[in-house]
Amino acid sequence: MIDGKLVEDVTVELLRKAAVYLPHDVKAALERSYDDEKDDTAKAQLKTILENIALAGEKGLPMCQDTGVHLFYVDLCGIRDSATISGSEASRHVGKHNVSWITDAIAQGVRRATREVPLRPNTVNPLTRENPGDNTGMHMPHINFRTSDNDYLEITVMMKGAGSENMSCMRMLTPSQGVAGIKEFVLESLVSAGGNPCPPVILGIGIGGSADICTCLAKEALLRPLGTHHHDEKIALLERELYDALKDIGIGPMGLGGRTTLLGVHVEYADCHTASLPVAVNFQCWAARRATARIYEDGRVEYPSHDGGK
């Protein structure tokens, strides 16, 4: 049975795992970078990062003090919520559920994790800057509900720190600026971010859709494990081209110079209006904290991002 209590407990565990342990792909990429780095200062930065990751695991504490704002992605299909499913198979597959209980359970999990992990109380009112102290508030935690054909409920959390998020940018290019315009914009964004987003970084790039859609896609691109490429060949090629060219920019770990600036470049796209070309860049710092849980109907839970589960 999947109920509010289980979703709350899983939320706490997801936030703990994300805050304390990096996903395998990110950790491996950082280790490779350390081995490849030649510059003394840069190597010292990467060494400190690796020591810090090890320390987090040993102590069971958050690796970075900025435990971010909490962005959740919930893939809905497959939850059998007897109170809300009318019984028809069709309604199950279009994800027609009353989901407010999930929203409540996740918010409750965030409150508990803030005390128990602990996480830094980061969310404030944007105007008064008042801090309720528990990481909840208007639209926070932020939950994106999506539908899927899975037979489990999947919840992914991303903890997004401000250092990297503050470097985000989006622009409405004109169609005539084309692919070259996109590349220019990405290059310009990376140069102006410099050392602020705690490089080495992962670049999430969203292309097309509309102003809001490309911004969301840029963020979602960061959910993909490092080393994976977009299934569309043209997009995968763009990812490789950007990575190969930009990795030698020389910003280096923490902007102190060196060869390690990028861990990866991920691109997502949506078709767009014939008269526009929206593009957005989202930066992910080395502390790429995300975690995914799959909750099965019998209450079994897997954490594929951290268990090495499939």
Partner 1 sequence: MISEKHLSLPLSEDDVRSFHLGDAVRLSGVIYTARDEAHMRILGVMEKGDSLPVDFKDSAVFHCGPIMQKNDDGWKVVAAGPTTSSRMNALEPGFIEKTGVRAVIGKGGMNEKTLDAMKKYGCVYLAMTGGAALVAADHIKGIKGVYWAELGEPEAVWVLEVEDFGPLTVAMDAHGGSIYEDVRRNVEKNLPEIKSKLGLKQ
Q: Write out the residues near ligand SF4 by the rule CB under 6 A.
A: 64, 66, 161, 163-164, 197-198, 285, 287
User: Based on CB atoms, which residue is closest to partner 1, 40 or 212?
Assistant: 40
Q: Which stretch binds partner 1 (CB under 8 A): 95-103, 104-112, 244-252, 273-281?
A: 244-252
Q: Enter the tokens of residue 291.
A: 């975690």
Near partner 1 by CB under 8 A: residue from 35, 65, 86, 138? 65
Binding-residue pattern over the window 194 to 223 for partner 1, x denoting contact by CB under 8 A: xxx-x-------------------------
Contact residue for partner 1 among 125, 144, 166, 228 (CB under 8 A): 166
- Rounded to whole angstroms, the Cα distance separating 138 from 136 reads 7
**Strands, E assignment, the chain:** 69-75, 142-146, 152-160, 169-173, 201-208, 262-270, 277-284, 290-296, 301-302
Whether 61 and 263 have beta carbons less than 8 Å apart is answered as no
The two tokens of residue 104 are 């409540």
With CB under 8 A, what is the number of residues at the site for partner 1? Answer: 58
Residue 241 Cβ vs partner 1, minimum distance, rounded to whole Å: 7
**CA–CA separation, 42 vs 164, rounded Å?**
19
Instruction: Name the residue number minimizing CB distance to ligand SF4.
Output: 161
Instruction: Find the binder of partner 1 among 5, 104, 118, 212 (CB under 8 A).
Output: 118
- CB-based contacts of 74, cutoff 8 Å, min separation 6: 99, 102, 106, 143, 144, 145, 146, 153, 154, 155, 156
Cα→Cα distances 105→108, 124, 151, 291, Å: 5, 21, 20, 17
Site for partner 1 contains 112 (CB under 8 A):
no
For 100, residues 6+ apart whose C-beta sits below 8 A from its C-beta are none
Please choose which of partner 1, ligand SF4, none residue 246 contacts, taking the beta carbon within 5 to 8 angstroms, the exact cut-off set by kind.
Answer: partner 1
Q: Does 59 contact partner 1 by CB under 8 A?
A: yes
Cα-based torsion angle of the residue sequence 135, 136, 139, 141 in order, rounded to the nearest 10 degrees: 60
Segment contacting partner 1 (CB under 8 A): 69-77, 88-96, 141-149, 188-196? 188-196
**If DSSP codes are grouped into helix, strand and coil, which group holds residue 180?**
helix
Choose between 13 and 66: whose C-beta lies nearer to ligand SF4.
Answer: 66
CB of 309 to partner 1, least distance (A): 27
Q: Which is nearer to partner 1, 14 or 201 (CB)?
A: 201
Helix (H) or strand (E) holding 268, with range, is: strand 262-270
Residue 13 touches which member of ligand SF4, partner 1, none, C-beta under 5-8 Å by kind: none
Distance between CA atoms of residues 93 and 300, nearest Å: 21
Q: Which residue number, 198 or 223, has a Cβ lying nearer to ligand SF4?
A: 198
* Alpha helix (H) residue ranges in 37-95: 40-59, 89-93
Q: List residues near partner 1 by CB under 8 A.
A: 40-41, 44-45, 48-49, 51-52, 55-56, 59, 61-67, 118-122, 124, 129, 131, 133, 161-163, 166, 180, 183-184, 187, 191, 194-196, 198, 241-242, 244-246, 248-257, 285-287
